[in-house]
Amino acid sequence: MRPIHVPVWFTASRVPRPMTFAYLWGVSTLGRGVLITVLPLMAHRVFEDAQKVSEFYFVISILGLLGGLAMPWLVSKLRRRWVFTLGCICLFGSAGLIAFGTTVTFSVGMVLQMIGVIAVELPLNLYILDHVPRRDLIRFEPMRLFYAAGPWTVGPWLGVTLQVNIADWLPFVVSGASALVLLGYFWALRIADHPALVRPRVAPVNPLRFVPRYVLQPRLRLAWALAFGRASWWYMFFIYAPIYCVTSGLGAEVGGALISLGSAGIFAAPLWGWVARRVGLRRYLTAAYGATGLATVAIAVVTPWPWLGAAMILCAAMVMSAVDGAGNTHFLRAVRPLERAEMTAVFSLYRDTAQLVIPGAFAVLLLALPLSSVFVASGLATAAMALVARHIPRRM
């Protein structure tokens, strides 16, 4: 009897290469990129005021944050692959709900999208920590961002263009389809959990118990603060830059193009990663956060001139891309192997916290001040992150 040989590609798929996760990350951003400009513009169309849009984002972010806190419990009950699958289903369902355009379906769809993003990214981050050596993380992070650059660059412009020129529902079809593609690609890879790092199943504990443990570790606190500052700026950019374009008379399509061009800076992530390795993460992020803060404050000065204001927003986004070049390297190198699931879950809340704090703070700010105050407040807060970055250990 002739021996039966297992195809090489079948067995190799069980031990994925680091670049496999970079590809997965790129696919995961496609559906979100198409809607990143459509959603705030749709919210502005529903509520007709930037201050009310801020209130809306604040409320749904609370629900998204609660969902994020429950994710470690879900991981403890299910395997990572099933949490990832659930996340893709949430993203698919959210696109369908938001497409209906009513206040209720829009709100529920936005919450589902937030939960879906967390459910996809948490297992993906855990797989990265399992399969990418620690010494290679500072090289891997820029490449991960590079493969996400295409969707983030084309998606915002494409989503608004499809909605304005073809059909209002078409961007949501593209987003839902991309969630299904992501799910199919993930299962085709047949990624297995790392056997040496998979814990035996135990009774789930309250996710809030992970937070004090995280806070007790200075390097993890620092990693969270840096990621929160970066996410807060981008969240401001994705919501208020399109609203600025609409309210200043430039139009929705210009807003979509502005978000796409601003996101294009992520293509330089490998270059910024090389610079970070040359000068050291501490000096690199200190300079990048400081420059971004100054550029963002300058937006407020030129907002009376719409095209000049749009150009300055684009300039600030390009500078901020330098911060993205370092990715989450500091956290990935600081987290302990046996605490990866719990600490990654807490770390991932930086995005949900930014989504909660930013619209909440700006909802109060916009009660008395014009839209330009958003750029002043965001710029000053980002400049303050340069002082936080100075606490990064010199050896990094």
pLDDT computed for residue 192 by the predictor: 67
pLDDT of 349 strictly over 50: yes
pLDDT of 273 strictly over 80: no
The whole-chain average pLDDT of the chain stands at 83
pTM reported for the whole predicted model:
0.77
The share of the chain scoring above pLDDT 70, in percent, equals 89
Mean pLDDT of 146-153: 80
Mean pLDDT of 32-54: 87
Mean pLDDT of 128-143: 72
Mean pLDDT of 141-170: 84
Mean pLDDT of 343-354: 80
**Contact criterion met (CB below 8 Å) for 52 and 84:** no
Q: Which amino acid is at 220?
A: L
pLDDT interval class at 395 (50, 70, 90): low
pLDDT interval class at 14 (50, 70, 90): low
CB count, 10 Å around CB of 337? 11
Pick the most confident of 81-95, 98-112, 314-328. 81-95
pLDDT computed for residue 195 by the predictor: 52
pLDDT computed for residue 10 by the predictor: 37
Q: Which amino acid is at 255?
A: G
In this structure, which long-range contacts are made by residues 201-210, counting pairs with CB atoms below 8 Å and at least 24 apart in sequence? Answer: 201/76, 202/76, 204/72, 204/73, 204/76, 204/77, 205/73, 205/76, 206/73, 207/69, 207/70, 207/71, 207/72, 207/73, 207/345, 208/69, 210/72, 210/342, 210/343, 210/345, 210/346
| Dist. CA 143–CA 136, nearest whole Å | 11
pLDDT computed for residue 2 by the predictor: 43
Q: What's the angle, vertex CA 174, arms to CA 169 and CA 180, rounded to 5?
A: 130
The DSSP call for residue 81 is: H
CA proximity to 316, closest of 294, 295, 285:
295
pLDDT computed for residue 201 by the predictor: 46
pLDDT tens per residue across span 171-184: 999 999 999 999 99
pLDDT computed for residue 69 by the predictor: 73
pLDDT computed for residue 341 by the predictor: 67
pLDDT computed for residue 139 by the predictor: 72
Mean pLDDT of 343-351: 79
Lowest-pLDDT choice from 10-19, 39-48, 359-368: 10-19
